[in-house]
Amino acid sequence: MKEILQRLLHGQISIDEAEKLLKTYQIDEIEDFAKLDTARHLRTGIPEVIYAENKDDGDLVKIVQHCSSVGNVMVTRLPEDRYELLKPGLDLIKDKIEYNKKARIMVIRNNELEKEGKVGILTAGTSDIHVAEEARITAEEMGCEVLTAYDAGVAGMHRLFGPLKKMLEEEVKVLIVIAGMEGALPSVVAGLVDIPVIGVPTSVGYGVGEGGFAALYAMLQSCSPGIAVVNIDNGFGAGVFAAKLVKQTLKD
């Protein structure tokens, strides 16, 4: 982008030519199967994110390789066994790769991020940790510091108060609260704090709670105001929303 503007400044291209170059700069195509939004991080503050599910392995490797020179890249919903299958095709960028098997996220890091602003993440149980880790890495890759406390659900309320107190003392600006089963924890937390709470229902449960719908409905129906709810198992969406909220507070 700077190169295009410098060429315009020095009279090497016309305004119309510069406009055309800037428009095409934002989209990069890979063969006939992918169109990359190369300016997303500048426009939205979200790094390039590649959703791995349902993509052909060969196509996924090509996309990751192509994106690896643009900036930091996240590959989400990538289970460990599939990551191991893809590793040989990513050998040229292996020094840039970090993989978290709980979050099922691969990060290709070209630039170190300066962390500013804090997000807190709470889970009701250990079965929710994979969603929490997805949220944590997402918020961190958007430049936030993240504090976590796992296994602090309503089945043992005494486990909640210590971690929650610490997060408030550390001045987190938003809390991501993750729960399956009946999804009660976000309602409890929202009744105790004066900061926004993002509820994340998980597909942990059985019977009427199977698939996470009981937790979703409970969070949507909460009598504690101040809760925003994302989709079932959507740790990524919660991490993005939390980071955007935090960045808004830093502008003041």
- pLDDT per position as a tens digit, 97-146: 899 999 999 998 877 878 889 999 999 999 999 999 999 999 999 999 99
The predicted structure's pLDDT at residue 167 = 95
Closest of 117, 106, 105 to residue 145, by C-alpha? 117
For residue 246, name the pLDDT band (cuts at 50, 70, 90).
very high
The predicted structure's pLDDT at residue 43 = 67
- pLDDT per position as a tens digit, 80-104: 999 999 888 888 888 888 999 999 9
Report helix, strand or coil for 80.
helix
For residue 33, name the pLDDT band (cuts at 50, 70, 90).
very low
How many angstroms separate the Cα of 16 from the Cα of each of 1, 12, 26? 15, 12, 16
Place of tokens 């009279």: 11
For residue 34, name the pLDDT band (cuts at 50, 70, 90).
very low
Closest of 41, 34, 32, 38 to residue 69, by C-alpha? 38
What proportion of the chain, given as a percentage, has pLDDT over 70? 89
Q: What domains can be seen in the chain, in order of their start residue?
A: 13-108 (no CATH), 118-250 (3.40.50.1970)
Question: 139 phi and psi, to 5 degrees?
Answer: -65, -40
Asked if pLDDT for residue 176 goes beyond 50, the answer is yes
- Contact status, residue 214 vs residue 248, Cβ threshold 8 Å: no
The predicted structure's pLDDT at residue 27 = 58
For the entire predicted model, the pTM comes to 0.83
Distance, CA of 110 to CA of 71 (rounded, Å): 6
Asked if pLDDT for residue 63 goes beyond 60, the answer is yes
